[in-house]
Structure 1
Amino acid sequence: MDFIIILTIILSVLPMKSNGANNSFYHYYTYLWGTDHFLVDPQGTSVQLKMDKISGGAGFRSKSDYGSGSFHIRLKTPNKRTKGIVTSFYLTSNPDDGTPQGNHFELDFEFWGVDRRVQTNIFLNDGGQREQRFHLWYDPSKDFHLYQIIWNSHQIIFMVDGIPIRVFKNNSAKGIAFPNKAMHVDASIWNAPFAGPVKWSQAPFIAQYQDFGFTACSARAKSKNISYCSSQIYFWNKPKYWELSASQKQQMDKYRKSYMFYDYCSSKTTWKPECPLNA
């Protein structure tokens, strides 16, 4: 009995780990909504989410909640010309059971229509409004590209095809909130009024996802404390990931100067106290 208890404790702190044998959708994710607008291939290697005028879109979520990790997916946005349709990949502490959302933590990748734009946003147990928007240097509807969020106790990194485009530092010691609740991974296609009017004549709109494996620290059931997910037994918590390297900083600066067209920190009406701390 003592051996079983010890083994259970050890397994509870090991990361959910991707490998070639179980990189399938079914290992990491589960259906969320969409009925016949949600399609997984028999091997679990590809998912299609469809949006049309009669549906509310479709989505899926991770089977577990997490307290830190390196999360990624490959996706292809719809190829029909329209505004208003958003394809997303994000982490959130919001429940999926329809209960009132209120303030929550969330880390977003949101793709608007097919105009090569992606919006990143961060909610810090509040209403968010920390948008940074980028023109992509490729057409995201033509091929699959890699989108990644690395979250540890020091910083959050948004990456596109291995290129860091945004960093949010942990400045909780200075009174700035930082995610301290477990979050799960969501992916969806939906009609977002903030993204403009939809040309329904172009429907259906189909988003495609691949490469479902990720590595993360699973949150313990019924526990609100995720501090154990800061352990350096996980590679993303090691000092190497506490700050971008000099070359990564140069790369991020280059891409932000070339492709970012909106930053909440650039306006007095949307500026927040963390803005000078994330340079």
Structure 2
Amino acid sequence: MSVFLGWFLGLVLMVVVAVAESAKFDELFQPNWAFDHFIYEGDLLKLKLDNSSGAGFGSKNKYMFGKVSIQLKLVQGDSAGTATAFYMSSEGVNYNEFDFEFLGNTTGEPYSVQTNVYVNGVGNREQRLDLWYDPTKDFHTYTIFWNQRQVVFLVDETPIRVHTNMEHRGIPFPKDQPMGVYSSIWNADDWATQGGRVKTDWSHAPFIATYKSFEINACECPVSSVAAVDNAKRCSSSEEKKFWWDEPTLSELSLHQSHHLMWVKARHMVYDYCTDISRYPVTPAECVHHHH
């Protein structure tokens, strides 16, 4: 069963909780920096990276639980040294964050995507995949789905990573901080391509990432500083209110999705922190217990 099947059928819009849905950039987002590196062409938004600056935008609101997605066409040609990110993040020292980072390459090399999960300000949970398609040729949909049981990263509805709630084993899970939604393009040639060995060739600038179809279908949290426990309550189902992200079918991957995830890991994963014994002589606890 598709993870998206029935999501909209079962969506009940509560008066007390705003669930944002839109496909227009300026309804959901605003430029955060380098306004002069934004190009608007109808429904398309282009972010430009040159040797003076990259660019980035962020959501106007913060959210807890739900789904955020964009369609993105990555930098074409020689994109070595560039990084394009799509991510969710909370604020403060003990922030939570879910990252997609698309790492540029020299022409003809596979584009790779790195995902990471930060919990209480601690990351170092990188996984890296070589994509099974050319992300510079067409738009592809990149999605983060988040509820109290799991965080799922999806590419064109195919799950590429799951971070499961294992609080019962004493492992913290990000479920009490509202998060903004962000994207940016920047020069990361100190690490992005072949560990930083290949630098950005500015003669190929500007580097352009193109976006469309912005969607946030998630629990909107007020901007004012509401206690975390209140946000968790207002965004969680109870007898009075039922939210689509709390549907039992979304508490874990379907069998079909699990098979897709296994295929991705077997065929396309090129780095997994869980198996990096030089960094982690003792396997991280969440890696020991993960089913997927």
Residue aligning to 2:254: 245
* TM-score, structure 2 normalization: 0.84
**Correspondence for 2:167 among 167, 172, 175:** 172
Are the counterparts in 1 of residues 111 and 135 from structure 2 also a CA contact under 8 Å? yes
Letter in 1 for 2:28: Y
* TM-score, structure 1 normalization: 0.88
User: 2:225 aligns to what SS in structure 1?
Assistant: coil
**Correspondence for 2:19 among 15, 18, 21:** 15
Say yes or no: does 1:206 pair with 2:211.
no
Residue aligning to 2:6: none
Residue aligning to 2:31: 31
The 1-side partners of 2:132 and 2:16 are apart by 41
The 1-side partners of 2:76 and 2:37 are apart by 17
**Correspondence for 2:265 among 226, 238, 256:** 256
The 2-side partners of 1:58 and 1:82 are apart by 16
Deviation at 1:173, TM superposition (A): 2.3
Give CA deviations for 1:235-259 in whole Å, capped at 9, x if unaligned: 1221111001111111110111000
Deviation at 1:84, TM superposition (A): 1.6
**Correspondence for 1:182 among 178, 187, 200:** 178
Give CA deviations for 1:207-259 in whole Å, capped at 9, x if unaligned: 01111122000113311323121226221221111001111111110111000
Say yes or no: does 1:161 pair with 2:161.
no
User: 1:13 aligns to what SS in structure 2?
Assistant: coil
Q: How many residues align?
A: 258
Residue aligning to 1:222: 225
Alignment gaps of 5+ in structure 2: 1-13
The 2-side partners of 1:237 and 1:276 are apart by 26
User: 1:230 aligns to what SS in structure 2?
Assistant: coil
Cα RMSD of the aligned pairs, angstroms, is 1.7
Are the counterparts in 2 of residues 181 and 224 from structure 1 also a CA contact under 8 Å? no
Higher deviation after alignment, 32-41 or 163-172: 32-41
Are the counterparts in 1 of residues 85 and 99 from structure 2 also a CA contact under 8 Å? yes
The 2-side partners of 1:27 and 1:91 are apart by 17
The 2-side partners of 1:12 and 1:32 are apart by 29
- Once the two structures are aligned, what percentage of the paired residues are identical? 41
Residue aligning to 2:79: 82
Higher deviation after alignment, 154-163 or 112-121: 112-121
Residue aligning to 2:8: none
Deviation at 1:205, TM superposition (A): 0.4
The 2-side partners of 1:14 and 1:28 are apart by 13
Say yes or no: does 1:126 pair with 2:132.
no
